[in-house]
Structure 1
């Protein structure tokens, strides 16, 4: 697949590397422009290229948002992602690094409001970048990555990407229920769990 990644910090760059290693093509974008991504693109090889955020969104079969949460609102024109599969891999923190109080709604529900018509899946937001970099090829039971959303087909596509990377996809439910389980302050965030451990943690709720 052609996978767009907007946000190329430690986690976004790590995701780009393991995606290209798994045989996918990546289109990378950030706030500083394509020229700033030249070293990363060179390191990733011919399966990667850089673009402006809107161009990355329109070119990708699947788009991953990995920018700071507040930066996502208005980042793209809504038509650029309408009917497109978008992975919300962002986390809503306060300026002090604490989980933000969003009331009864999950952060992904706000993203869905910002981009109506996008096929939104919450995923790839719970694992530390150092674990993400190596755990997919490590020995032993695969670690869990989560998918939540209201579009079953979109979730299955993302689950396939997770399998490609050497992880075990675990469906946490709807964008509301599952997203809250995954976001900062939830029982799955920043925990290194196997598939069975993850399902046990979810079932204990």
Structure 2
């Protein structure tokens, strides 16, 4: 794992697939940072919440969102990612594709290969047939929306980034920094299980000083058990509503179970 360093900032053309709690927040943040952002969901541009477009992002169709871009951010339910493969087949090889999703059996059904130990993002990369980066998946959606802080702020939360290619790593780290979080290169996509659900860095709002140790302590089998336990607690409290409770509940639960 490398040490954190300030990545070079690029002005980029960014496409975001998904306009929910992660994709919508990133659309606002990255537009406000000066990037050219277009967003799409599965239902069409006229269904996109105006707040998502409030800082300059454009609502487009899902076919339009993958054209003429430097970066594509995937913020859709994990189980639906394989259906994107035909749409992404025409993307240039150098386009940076960032996966923000998590395998959540509680929501997605169990996937045998992942249950047997395949990292979430290896599965995604294989289904899409291309390299990807992994970022923002370890931050709770309410934290992403409300807890971004300027560089150097003592309460700035850190976010791990996994990637295999240099350009994927550099671009993704730059965007994470601009979204208000300290980016840390956590290793290759093969190592990205260290930032999956149930890991010590997952939704625990730790700082840059704490993140390397949390990644090193990750244990895949333990993370799986912790993930199941956390979602059992969530389901007992909230049922199968799929609502996002306030940040305190998720962060406190995650710290109790994952750290």
Same fold (TM over 0.5): yes
Secondary structure class of the residue paired with 1:10: coil
CA contact (8 A) 2:53 2:59 kept: no
Aligned to 2:90: 80
Secondary structure in structure 2 of the residue aligned to 1:146 = strand
Task: Specify whether residues 194 and 89 from structure 1 end up closer, same or farther in structure 2 by C-alpha distance, changes over 3 A only.
Answer: same
**2:249 counterpart residue number:** none
Change beyond 3 A, Cα 1:98–1:137: farther
Q: Number of residue pairs matched? A: 201
TM-score between both structures, scaled by the size of structure 2: 0.71
- Bigger strand fraction: 1
Preserved contact between residue 53 and residue 76 of structure 1 (Cα < 8 Å): no
Q: Deviation string for 1:124-158 (max 9, x for gaps)? A: 11111221123223642421111112112211111
In the other structure, the counterpart of 1:162 is 176
Decide whether aligned partners of structure 1 residues 200 and 82 sit closer, same or farther in structure 2, where only a CA change above 3 A counts. Answer: same
Whole-angstrom CA distance in 2 between matches of 1:63 and 1:96: 24
Distance of 1:33 and 1:133 partners within structure 2: 23
Report runs of 4+ in structure 1 exceeding 3 Å deviation.
95-101
The corresponding residue for 2:126 is: 113
Specify which of 25, 38, 42 is matched with residue 31 of structure 1. 42
Task: List per-residue Cα deviations over 1:40-72 (Å, max 9, x = no partner).
Answer: 45523xx31112223212232111101001111
What are the within-5 Å matches in structure 2 for residues 12-51 of structure 1? 12-37=23-48, 39-40=50-51, 42-44=53-55, 47-51=56-60
Pick the structure with greater CA Rg.
2
Q: Which of 124, 142, 146 is the aligned partner of 2:156?
A: 142
Give the Cα–Cα distance (whole angstroms) in 2 for the partners of residues 38 and 167 of structure 1.
25
Match of 1:67 in 2: 76
Partner in structure 2 of residue 151 of structure 1: 165
**Is the 1:69–1:92 Cα contact (8 Å) retained in structure 2?**
yes
Does the 8 Å contact 1:99/1:184 carry over to 2? no
Preserved CA contact (<8 Å) 1:63 1:86? yes
Contact 1:88 1:122 survives alignment (8 Å): yes
Structure 1 position 196 matched with structure 2 position 206: no
Measure the CA separation in 2 of the matches of 1:136 and 1:128.
12
Q: Any gaps of 5 or more consecutive residues in structure 1?
A: none
- In the other structure, the counterpart of 1:122 is 134
Q: Structure 1 residues 130, 98: closer, same or farther in 2, change over 3 A?
A: farther
Is 1:54 the counterpart of 2:63 in the alignment? Answer: yes
For the aligned residues, what is the CA RMSD?
2.2
Tell me by how many angstroms 1:81 deviates.
3.1
2-side partners of 1:97 and 1:74: how far apart? 14
